[in-house]
Amino acid sequence: MAAIIWLREVDGTGVTQTPELKLIAFIVLLIAFILPLIIQVVWLIVNLRKSNKK
Protein backbone atom coordinates (compact mmCIF):
# COMPACT_ATOMS: atom_id res chain seq x y z
CA MET A 1 0.00 0.00 0.00
CA ALA A 2 2.82 2.41 0.83
CA ALA A 3 4.48 1.67 -2.51
CA ILE A 4 1.29 2.57 -4.36
CA ILE A 5 1.06 5.87 -2.51
CA TRP A 6 4.72 6.70 -3.03
CA LEU A 7 4.96 5.71 -6.72
CA ARG A 8 1.79 7.33 -8.04
CA GLU A 9 2.11 10.63 -9.86
CA VAL A 10 -1.55 11.68 -9.63
CA ASP A 11 -4.12 10.74 -6.99
CA GLY A 12 -7.78 9.82 -7.53
CA THR A 13 -8.93 13.44 -7.70
CA GLY A 14 -6.37 14.40 -10.35
CA VAL A 15 -4.03 16.31 -8.03
CA THR A 16 -0.33 15.97 -8.86
CA GLN A 17 1.43 14.32 -5.93
CA THR A 18 4.38 16.21 -4.46
CA PRO A 19 6.70 14.54 -1.93
CA GLU A 20 4.96 16.48 0.85
CA LEU A 21 1.51 15.24 -0.18
CA LYS A 22 2.82 11.69 -0.47
CA LEU A 23 4.24 11.92 3.05
CA ILE A 24 0.95 13.22 4.43
CA ALA A 25 -0.97 10.40 2.74
CA PHE A 26 1.49 7.86 4.16
CA ILE A 27 1.16 9.29 7.69
CA VAL A 28 -2.65 9.16 7.49
CA LEU A 29 -2.45 5.54 6.36
CA LEU A 30 0.01 4.74 9.14
CA ILE A 31 -2.32 6.23 11.77
CA ALA A 32 -5.23 4.26 10.34
CA PHE A 33 -3.30 1.01 10.92
CA ILE A 34 -1.56 1.86 14.20
CA LEU A 35 -4.63 3.10 16.10
CA PRO A 36 -6.53 -0.23 15.93
CA LEU A 37 -3.29 -2.07 16.76
CA ILE A 38 -2.85 -0.04 19.95
CA ILE A 39 -6.47 -0.68 20.95
CA GLN A 40 -6.04 -4.43 20.40
CA VAL A 41 -2.83 -4.57 22.45
CA VAL A 42 -4.48 -2.71 25.34
CA TRP A 43 -7.47 -5.06 25.15
CA LEU A 44 -5.13 -8.08 25.17
CA ILE A 45 -3.38 -6.80 28.30
CA VAL A 46 -6.72 -6.21 30.04
CA ASN A 47 -7.92 -9.71 29.18
CA LEU A 48 -4.66 -11.32 30.29
CA ARG A 49 -4.81 -9.55 33.65
CA LYS A 50 -8.45 -10.58 34.12
CA SER A 51 -7.69 -14.22 33.36
CA ASN A 52 -4.77 -14.28 35.82
CA LYS A 53 -6.98 -13.03 38.67
CA LYS A 54 -9.36 -15.99 38.39
The residue extents of the domains of the chain are 2-53
The whole-angstrom separation of Cα 18 and Cα 38 is 30
The whole-angstrom separation of Cα 11 and Cα 19 is 13
**Predicted pLDDT at 10:** 87
pLDDT for 17-45, tens place per residue?
999 999 998 999 999 999 999 999 999 99
CA distance readout (Å), 5 to 1, 13, 42, 53: 6, 14, 30, 46
Name the phi and psi angles at 10, rounded to 5.
-135, 140
3-state secondary structure of 27: helix
Q: Using an 8 Å Cβ cutoff, are 5 and 26 in contact?
A: yes
User: The whole model's pTM is what?
Assistant: 0.65
